[in-house]
A and B are shown apart, each in its own frame.
Chain A
Amino acid sequence: MTRKRRRLYIVAAALLVFGGATALVLTALDDSLDLFQSPSQIMASPPPPERGIRLGGLVEEGTVLRSTDGLSVSFRVTDGAQSVPVSYQGILPDLFREGQGVITLGNMGPDGTFQAREVLAKHDENYLPREVVDALKESGQWQDGSGVGQ
């Protein structure tokens, strides 16, 4: 076993492992990306139902409706300019409130309602997700300093 041979073996093993890892990463990235969209973007060009979407914005005031069994809920997410209806089954996070920032993960249904798999509200109520802030800025709903999320 010479030094050169050993190096050859190590390089071959490294190529194998890292090549495999690259292949895994490339196939996985294709299927598991969730695209962030603001309500305005979704209304402008509704994404296909199979596309995973993160819809972010504020929970529109006065739109939260619970079903009689308390398990499913519907509300609208707005960026001030447009709003998208969302339906969700399950327990909402503690910080879910009307007028607060929210991110929902799911897919756009064929009926134009966003079917959420997951609803995230921030742990810290003074903090808005950066994407939501950007979306609010784009729709002109954000004032620096005294902005909605500040």
Chain B
Amino acid sequence: MIIELGHFALILALAAALVQGSLPMIGAQRGDAAWMGLARPAAIVQLFLVVFAFCALTHAYVTSDFSVANVVANSHSAKPLLYKVTGVWGNHEGSMLLWILILALFGSAVAVFGGNLPPSLRARVLGVQAWIGVGFMTFTLFTSNPFLRVFPAPLDGEDLNPLLQDPGLAFHPPMLYAGYVGFSMAFSFAIAALIEGKVDAAWARWVRPWTLLAWAFLTGGIALGSWWAYYELGWGGWWFWDPVENVSFMPWLLGTALLHSAIVVEKRNALKTWTILLAILTFSLSLIGTFIVRSGLLTSVHAFATDPERGFFILVLLAITIGGSLTLFALRAPSLKAGGLFAPISREGGMVINNLFLAAACAAVFLGTLYPLFLEALDGSKVSVGPPFFNATFVPLMVPLIFLMAIGPMLPWKRGDLLGALVRLKLAAVAAVVVAAITWYLESGGPLLAVAAMGLAAWLFFGALVEWSDRVKLLRAPLGESWRRARNLPRAAHGMTLAHAGMAVVMAGMIGSSVWKSEVVTNLRPGETVEIAGYSLLFEGVGKLEGPNYSAERARFTVTRDGEEIAALFPEKRVYQVQAMPTTEAAIRTTLVADLYAVIGDADGRGGWTVRIYHEPLVPWIWLGCLLMVAGGLVSLSDRRLRVGAPQRARKAKTASRPAAA
């Protein structure tokens, strides 16, 4: 009964979205306040209906209602409660429902907090948002309905794919989706602005926080995904340039560009057309990211089992959204008024360069990811593009960007002084050389490029710190004065420093773990020892272990360093009973500067086991750095000027007391 109500609620939500997408749009065209006013209640109603539908499906999972086909296919009564709940979005149909839920949440946020938006803009934004919802709800109801029953109901379910039975699933998909869907806000604002024919600073002040929020979610989502792959897959790697990873990375690259160009629109009223285009492209890539893997177009290491019948619907949906919005852009963009002027060497100029490199990097990733599709369509040959391609194209594009990333924030708006900025960065340059020298010494020479790259990461890190300490006059004024300045600094400035420094930390982690990683694969009998990076691991043997819905073989390693026992590692090999599927559970010991990573393979039948041990220096920094970046985004988001619903008050405050801000 509840499941039918949920199904019905989703159909009603579709109806509400249709109303929200049509009447307010017509109202905005005619200037009819009552019709425009319909958008807000419709968005709230839509949210409540979608929440109800989502809860209904969750209820079916929690109570193990095996008369529902989706529950049968992805759950089992013996599954721990956490995975019953997360199992709701651990499959195609349920994850579409989660998408719709997040979309409705963002839409109703505009309805609730958008009190100070011009009524016609608000109505149009909500209208566009509703049409996205219509597309997704139709897709879900007609091709991926999670509310279908089976008759007769089986006694138990087929269980969730064991790889997904991990706490990572609780956070990774919702965060990733919040990122993808968050960019729908920038998209809706862009389309609404094109219809209105007006882009101004107030528009940018709305777009920026939503983009920032989406960006923070997406950064967190990608980082969690990579961390999950790192500890769950047992390969010791954190990024494989797999199509699924790439499609989440492309909107991140363009979203980062959008984040920066939106600042230029807000501060200087320039780059408006470009920002609109970026907003459209970023969300289009999010859509492609959601769909391309599901449509079965690309072969990927990790994807849901795919259904080609959905492909056609998806293609039509993508064509309408992307084609339609780009056509609208082509028609209306020329009528947007051009904004402020700036010299090439200026803060704006820096943002343009940032945007160019990010867009070029995104294009390279796009080409590498979709090239197999193009080639197969052209001459039928099947190829795959491997990590060497991405390393050879992406990395060279990032190097100049990272180098300039320390300089850009040093330049003032309109017209800057490059030499002056470089002089102010001399401390960062010294730090870069010192870090490179230390790396050279520690790794006794190391590959030259990697040593230089560590120097570059230090350049960015200390460059960000120098910029911040310049602004608060650290050590050049009494500490009390610096403290006062730091408190008066806009939060967005702190946020930028955190995010840029975080990027440097991520970079150091990536370099360290790929260049100085060591790996031992060997066959051990109990009592034998393996040496790696100054540690010795004594293999004590393998015991049996029973989990709630799996049985495992668990090995024990005693880790010693310089004769002193420092840790024990317990890697497992599990077999999940229902699907009879084996998984590898790595054992990881982290010191925050390096990870020791142990995995067991198969027994050789003569008392020995294959084991694989990795030592990965700096790998935890990848996720620590991402955390810093997310924190930077959130701090920046808490800036008064960006606080949702505060633009009017902020404008007054700015003229009254605030010094020229970031």
- A contact residues vs B (CB 8 Å cutoff): 1-3, 6, 9-10, 13-14, 17-18, 20-21, 24-25, 27-29, 31-36, 52, 54, 66, 68-71, 89-92, 94-95, 105, 120, 122-127, 129-131, 134
Contact = CB atoms under 8 A, between A and B. Distances in A.
B299 interface: yes
B554 interface: no
B45 interface: no
8 contacts: A9-B349, A21-B363, A29-B389, A54-B382, A70-B608, A71-B522, A91-B602, A94-B582
A128 B505 CA distance: 39
A32 B604 contact: no
Contacts of A25: 364, 367-368, 393
A33 B582 contact: no
B382 A36 contact: yes
Interface string B334-357: 000010011110000100110011
Interface in B574-612: 579, 581-584, 599, 601-602, 604, 608-610, 612
Given A17-B357, A32-B392, A130-B299, A71 B523 contact: yes
Contacts of B396: 20, 24
Contacts of B302: 123
Contact of B382 (A17, A124, A131): A131
Contact of A35 (B301, B306, B381, B573): B381
B296 A130 contact: yes
Interface string B268-306: 000000000000000000000000000010010111111
A18 B366 CA distance: 14
Contacts of A123: 161, 163, 301-302
Given A24-B392, A54-B382, 4 more contacts: A17-B356, A32-B388, A94-B584, A124-B305
Interface of B: 161, 163, 234, 296, 299, 301-306, 338, 341-344, 349, 352-353, 356-357, 360-361, 363-364, 367-368, 371, 381-389, 392-393, 396-397, 521-523, 573, 579, 581-584, 599, 601-602, 604, 608-610, 612
A32 B342 CA distance: 41
A94 B602 CA distance: 9
B604 A52 contact: no
Nearest to A14: B356
Nearest to A13: B356
A32 B392 CA distance: 9
Chain B, interface SS category: mixed
A24 B364 contact: yes
A117 to B, nearest CB: 10
Given A34-B383, A95-B581, A24 B393 contact: yes
B392 A21 contact: no
B364 A21 contact: yes
Given A24-B396, A91-B599, A6 B385 contact: no
A12 to B, nearest CB: 9
B384 A94 contact: no
Nearest to B300: A129
Nearest to B363: A21
A1 B389 contact: no
Between A2, A70, A124, A125, the greatest number of chain B beta carbons within 10 A of the residue's beta carbon is seen for: A70
Given A31-B388, A124-B161, A1 B342 contact: yes
Between B389, B396, B397, B581, the greatest number of chain A beta carbons within 10 A of the residue's beta carbon is seen for: B389
B383 A91 contact: no
B391 to A, nearest CB: 8
Contacts of A105: 386
Nearest to B604: A70
Chain A, interface SS category: mixed
Nearest to B304: A124
A32 B386 contact: yes
Contact of B383 (A1, A33, A129): A33
A18 B388 contact: no
Contacts of A33: 383-386, 389
Contacts of B301: 120, 122-123
Contacts of B299: 129-131
Given A1-B341, A125-B581, A32 B161 contact: no
B342 A6 contact: yes
Contact of A21 (B163, B303, B360, B573): B360
A142 to B, nearest CB: 14
Contact of B360 (A2, A18, A35): A18
Contact of B343 (A1, A14, A24, A91): A1
B625 to A, nearest CB: 25
A21 B234 CA distance: 34
A20 B602 CA distance: 47
Contacts of A69: 522-523, 604, 608
- Per CB-CB distance, the 6 closest pairs between chain A and chain B, nearest first, are A36-B382, A32-B388, A28-B392, A70-B604, A32-B389, A21-B360
A92 B601 CA distance: 8
B341 A3 contact: yes
Contacts of A35: 381-383
A36 B384 CA distance: 7
A64 B234 CA distance: 22
A13 B599 contact: no
A126 B305 contact: yes
Nearest to A122: B301
Contacts of A14: 356
Contacts of B604: 66, 68-70
A6 B583 CA distance: 57
Contacts of A70: 523, 601-602, 604, 608-610
Contacts of A130: 296, 299
Contacts of A66: 604
Contact of A91 (B296, B357, B601): B601
Nearest to A132: B299
B583 A94 contact: yes
Contacts of B610: 70-71, 91
A91 B610 CA distance: 7
Nearest to A24: B393
Given A1-B341, A17-B357, A24-B392, A127 B384 contact: no
A6 B341 contact: yes
A29 B371 contact: yes
